[in-house]
Structure 1
Amino acid sequence: MKRLFSIVLVISLLNFPIKTEAQIQGHTIVARSDKAGITLYAEEREGLYRDFYLKFNGGMIVEQDWKNVTNPAFAPQIQTDDLNGDGQQELVILLTKGTETGVFVQEVHVFQYERRQIGDSAVKVPFETEVMDPIKWIRKNVTSTVHRNQAEIKINGTSYTVDLRALAPKHLFKKVIFGNRITYEIRNHHLIARLGGEVSSAGGQMGELVITYTYKHDHFQPQTATFCLKKDELINAAMNG
């Protein structure tokens, strides 16, 4: 599914205004990749980078809904990889939206490319491809219960049991909470989301749900999901069909 966005092509035939670096007032470069030919600009406002411009060879894309913390340690990341197996590199933008105590949340944006013939020029234009929200997927495919000494998680028929006695948590939730820690990475040409699981208001992660995405029906959707301990050791899972 191609998401509609505001795009400015540096082609006079389209009668779009040509935006140069000097014309992006109040914006600074927050990330750049010579390999991808991409530069990200943003405006610092209210403690966050907002109102992004994605500059590529031929124009700019305006992304007004993007946000990223201003801490240089968590600057936006620009990556490229073939994530759908078509032999072409996708453009991946990783944003860090929150880094408060007990919270670390990233957001991913994946772009594919298409060539547009404008006059005598063939312009390689990026367009964003939907990545299914892992939280929405969890709501439909993951169930859990938390007891005094253990937590049980079921993912599409596969059950995981976690011994909580070593954690000695207090103020237990009724179910495992995902969403306070969300990170993304690329491994073996696959997009992977990692979501920390919490069982107590005292915080701390007992493990994480690892979701591997695949490209299907014009968007990226979860293909497999497992629950892992903090050190990536798979919890003993009882297969229930």
Structure 2
Amino acid sequence: MRNGEAILRVEFHIRFWSSFILASSILTACSSQQVHPSSTPVPTQEMIAPSPESSSDPSAAPTNNSGSSKELIASIPKHKIFLYGEENGVTLRIGDEAHELDWMYMTPTGVLPRLQVEDYDGDGRQELSVILYIGSGTGISVEELHMINIDPADPEYFQDHVFKNYNAQLDEAVQFKTIQQNDVLFGQISIDSTSASVSLKDYQSPEFGKVGDHLVFGNIVRFEHENKQLKAQFGAEIILEKSAIPQSIGHIDAHASYKDGKFALSHFAFQKNPEAP
């Protein structure tokens, strides 16, 4: 190994473990605040199943003779697609072409990117979907979905499209209100013509104050490659007047589709937390 490469690797690991120690300190500080426990765990690499095509096996990657700090973090060898972690961002190699992208890919939980190639928009050309784990912490677990046009004949060849507006779509599709039944407070979640109720009795005390009149999305965001499709899951949380931390009451499952550079959610379904009455 060259001296320059060794120094870069040492610096990279110092930065990673510094981030881990900082995150642990924040977690310890936050744990001193008394709030109702959330049922949504922050995933680790072992908890998340890899995409069917995706791999991080370095033996499948082309030989790296550049002397850089590149480390293979995901790949689809049969499509000659290799994603390398860099000191800042990533390098995506497809065939003989390499592109540098300003993507976050490393958090203290160490969840690696997942890749899948499909014709997601039905235009006869394949796209590469990339799921990145970009945020973790107390009550935070966020993944990011990217779509890249990888067919050289595509007018938007190698354009990177990111799914950003899912909160607006969720706010439009999901309605929430509180109701009283036999002196017990419930939250009612309505999607299209269906509705579900969740007991909020645990929060029905002066300690928490009033329950807000809308749900919070965005703190728990997950995407999955499933049967050549994209699935999404979003934590559904309520706001309490006297607590700075939103509280989980369940999650919204949805299908994610892609067309003309835009993402859309459909087939929404609410699932309450397993321990909820």
TM above 0.5, one fold? yes
Q: Are the counterparts in 2 of residues 135 and 178 from structure 1 also a CA contact under 8 Å?
A: yes
- The answer for unaligned runs of 5 or more in structure 1 is 1-19, 45-49, 118-124, 232-241
Aligned to 1:169: 203
Quote the residue 2:186 is aligned against: 150
1:189 to 225, 228, 231: 228
Partner-residue secondary structure (3-state), 2:86? strand
Choose from 87, 93, 112 the match for 2:149: 112
Flag the 1:97–1:161 CA change in 2: closer, same or farther, 3 A.
Answer: same
2:246 matched to 1:214?
A: no
Match of 1:51 among 69, 77, 89: 89
Change (3 A) 1:113 1:186: same
State the superposition RMSD in angstroms.
Answer: 3.1
Task: Name the count of aligned residue pairs.
Answer: 197
Taking the aligned partners of 1:100 and 1:24, their CA distance within structure 2 comes to 34
The residue matched to 1:168 in structure 2 has which SS? Answer: helix
Which deviations, in whole Å up to 9, do the C-alpha atoms of 1:187-223 show, x marking residues without a partner?
3432121101112556653221122123444533123
Cα distance in structure 1, aligned partners of 2:234 and 2:189? 14
**TM superposition shift of 1:72:** 6.5
Q: Distance in 2 between matches of 1:130 and 1:180?
A: 17
> Could you state the TM-score of these two structures normalised by the residue count of structure 1?
0.67
Structure 2 unaligned spans of 5+: 1-62
Deviations 1:54-76 (A, max 9, x none): 11112112212x21234464011
Higher strand share: 1
Structure 1 residues 127, 182: CA separation in 2 closer, same or farther (over 3 Å shift)? same
* Residue 166 (structure 2) aligns with: 134
* TM-aligned CA deviation for residue 42 of structure 1: 2.5
- Matched residues in 2 for 1:109 and 1:92: separation? 6
- Look up the match of 1:17: none
